[in-house]
Amino acid sequence: MLDQRTASDLTIEDMRAAHERIKPYIHRTPVLTSSFLNDLTGAQLFFKCENFQKAGAFKVRGASNAVFGLSEEMARKGVATHSSGNHALSLSYAAGRRGIPCNVVMPRTAPQAKKDAVRGYGGIITECEPSTSSREEVFARVEAETGAEFVHPYNDLRVIAGQATCSAELLEQTDGLDAVIAPIGGGGMVSGTCLTLSNLAPHVEIYAAEPEQADDAYRSFKAGHIIADDAPDTVADGLKVPLKENTWHFVSHHVTDILTASEQEIIDAMKLTWKRMKIVIEASCAVPLATILKNPEVFAGKRVGVIITGGNVDLDTLPWIK
Amino acid sequence: MLDQRTASDLTIEDMRAAHERIKPYIHRTPVLTSSFLNDLTGAQLFFKCENFQKAGAFKVRGASNAVFGLSEEMARKGVATHSSGNHALSLSYAAGRRGIPCNVVMPRTAPQAKKDAVRGYGGIITECEPSTSSREEVFARVEAETGAEFVHPYNDLRVIAGQATCSAELLEQTDGLDAVIAPIGGGGMVSGTCLTLSNLAPHVEIYAAEPEQADDAYRSFKAGHIIADDAPDTVADGLKVPLKENTWHFVSHHVTDILTASEQEIIDAMKLTWKRMKIVIEASCAVPLATILKNPEVFAGKRVGVIITGGNVDLDTLPWIK
């Protein structure tokens, strides 16, 4: 079974199997370019637009791989998770497509737009306090009551194999890349990117981008072991969670570097993307562009894939409008 | 010369010549779909995303056709126009690509984002008061001083032939349509759509969508002659201008119907598009979706092309955030 293996057992065949499994349920999202942003950065940027993905985020890839990989018997009891948002949406969407229940434990402070969307996809929300202890306590109760299969937002090999399909598409859609950059929270997308690129395009550099105010991955990477923050606060609300053993495996083995950006730099990059590219992206996915603008010497002259991870924004409270 | 002909002389060959002429300077914009909006409307909607166009709007098609169709001698003195916004951007962009000057007379009340963008593309702005008389007076002075070629935002056959290229692409990108709907202000996009569809796909219905608060085209269509409003006020600020003789020709001969929507319906459709499709669109391009949601019986079961005309929004003042 996939979930009895460890991160180092994952192979490119797991990614390929995931891609076949989830293709009916996901979009092959477009890659957009911006001559304005190319001029501004001195790099050639290829934006993989997972904000256009089903359920509004790349997380539907991993969630669908987990849901559709379950045996009939396991599927009957449904799936369950805790999530700050997009994984909850995505697991609800995937469970809905399979016709099985999805229980979600969510902090009561999560954006209303995300709660509404989880319910819109048929997810059943149980609220917890915004602390690790409350979340674990409430989740244990939900899991015991339902017998549902736990699908962790990122520390799950099925999820990592699913996220890995994103950069496989990006490679097919671009004519050669020198680097790929993705935001890092728990590290699911970055781990999937590592799985795919280390196998299919090992010369491509892999950068992770993180908010300064939630820089546990940055500090872990420099220290050589996982350092978890207690309760980081950042506008990039999808990136508050810490690395876990499976994602740390990929980050520590395959990531070229981790770059950070301040809150204002993230907000400026988010607004710039909306303004010039005309796409709605979350603050989390603006972190890569913010770090590219901050470190032009790292990316100048390179062909860089930039993973836009999601577009689920509460349009009533934009960070640049006070 | 094209500009000595009248609207009834325009042929599909003018559209084809325009497409060849402008291809190096424009994007072939993507067509996006939304299963959520299909479910909501009961129609199959195909959104032609000119918000991703160069300079952020379809108007670059007509402007580029005018600019690159000029003789060397005419081009030397540059081009000039008056515009509420996107035509000014587009003409500045096209003139910049040809390396000739572009003079723009713009109301001082135009959105700051549009003024900044005109200057960003190299356009030279002369401000006027937000009235027809001031605009005409200031423009006459600019034209006399520069000798520049006047390119009207829409009542210009070169411009109409350029806008016509948009629905030619839309036809190629979709596998058969029953209807196309576009917003109507002065009628440049609708006229181009009529030119193309009446020649290449005469069975396709053509709808124009207009704000109730600037419904001069609607009233003209019902009356059978042009009725111009004096100073309409609407959130759809690209749609305040009246029809002129060349656009009236196409509207009166080829449009199936004109539908209208209230300010609140337009704002709701705009926000819904941002939220579900993750694209930044102007209020003006939300008018078609607003009228589709308001008149489901007209569109149910049909394959409908929806022209998203532009994405140049002042992100600091969104109409749903007070």
Task: Summarize pLDDT for A33-80 with one digit per residue, the tens.
Answer: 999 999 999 999 999 999 999 999 999 999 999 999 999 999 999 999
Query: Considering only CB atoms, which chain B residues are within 8 Å of A320?
Result: 315-316
Please report which confidence band the pLDDT of residue B4 belongs to, taking 50, 70 and 90 as the band edges. confident
Radius of gyration of chain A (CA): 18
Residue A97's pLDDT band (boundaries 50, 70, 90)? very high
Sheet holding B179-183, edge to edge: B31-32, B44-49, B303-308, B179-183, B205-211, B257-261
ipTM for the predicted complex: 0.92
Fold for the domain defined by B2-57+156-308: Rossmann fold (3.40.50)
Q: What is the pLDDT of residue A3?
A: 52
- B318–A321 C-beta distance less than 8 A: yes
Instruction: Compare all CA atoms of chain B with the CA of A315 and give the residue at the minimum distance.
Output: B275
Confidence of residue B84 (pLDDT cuts 50, 70, 90): low
Is B318 in Cβ contact with A275 (below 8 Å)?
Answer: no
Q: Which of residues 50-109 of A touch B (CB under 8 A)?
A: 51-52, 56
Q: List pLDDT tens digits, range A216-227.
A: 999 999 999 999
Average pLDDT value for chain A: 94
Determine the distance from the C-alpha atom of residue B125 to the mean position of all C-alpha atoms in its chain, rounded to a whole number. 21
Gap between the Cα atoms of B7 and B248, Å rounded: 9
Place of tokens 């256009």: A52
Q: Would you kindly state where each structural domain of chain A is located, as residue ranges?
A: 2-58+156-308, 60-150
B60-150 matches B2-57+156-308 in CATH topology: yes
Q: Is A150 an 8 Å CB contact of chain B?
A: no
Tokens of A41: 């950065």
Is A228 in the B-facing interface, judged by CB distances under 8 Å?
A: no
User: Residues B123, B116: contact at Cβ < 8 Å?
Assistant: no
Rounded to an integer, the average pLDDT of B61-73 is 98
Q: Does A322 touch chain B (CB under 8 A)?
A: no
CB-CB contact of A309 with A189 (8 Å): yes
- The domain over range B60-150 is classified in CATH as 3.40.50.1100: yes
Question: In which residue are the tokens 């669908």 written?
Answer: A64
pLDDT-based confidence at residue A4 (cuts at 50, 70, 90)? confident
Portion of chain A with pLDDT greater than 90, in percent? 87
Provide mean pLDDT across the span B210-238: 92
Question: Measured between CA atoms, how close is B273 to chain A, in angstroms?
Answer: 10
- H-helix or E-strand spanning residue A37: helix A35-41
Specify the pLDDT at position A111: 77
**Cβ within 8 Å, pair A280-B279:** yes
pLDDT of residue A1: 46
- Stretch A177-205: mean pLDDT, rounded? 98
**Cβ–Cβ below 8 Å for B56 and A311:** no
Alpha helix ranges (H) inside chain B: 12-22, 35-41, 59-68, 72-76, 86-98, 112-120, 132-146, 157-173, 188-200, 216-223, 245-254, 263-277, 287-294, 296-299
Token reading at B17? 């010549």
Reported as a pLDDT band with limits 50, 70 and 90, residue B306 is very high
Q: Which residue in B278, B308, B317, B322 has the most chain A C-beta atoms within 10 A of its own C-beta, making it the best mutation to test that interface?
A: B278
Residue bearing tokens 């963008």: B117
Contact criterion met (CB < 8 Å) for B280 and A281: no
Percent of chain B with pLDDT over 90: 87
Q: State the pLDDT at residue A227.
A: 93
| pLDDT > 60? residue B3 | no
Q: Does domain A2-58+156-308 have CATH number 1.10.3720.10?
A: no
pLDDT, tens digit (0-9, with 9 covering 90-100), for A140-155:
999 999 999 999 999 9
The CA-CA-CA angle for residues B173, B177, B178, to 5°, reads 165
**What DSSP letter does each residue of B193-241 carry, written as one string?**
HHHHHHHH-TTSEEEEEEEGGG-HHHHHHHHTS----SS---S-GGG-S
B89 within 8 A of B50, measured Cβ to Cβ: no
The answer to whether A273 contacts chain B (CB < 8 Å) is no
CB atoms B318 and A320 under 8 Å: no
Q: Is the pLDDT of residue B102 over 90?
A: yes
Taking one residue from A and the other from B, the number of pairs with CB-CB distance under 8 angstroms is 48
For residue A318, list chain B residues with Cβ-Cβ distance below 8 A.
315, 318, 321
User: How many residues appear in chain A?
Assistant: 322
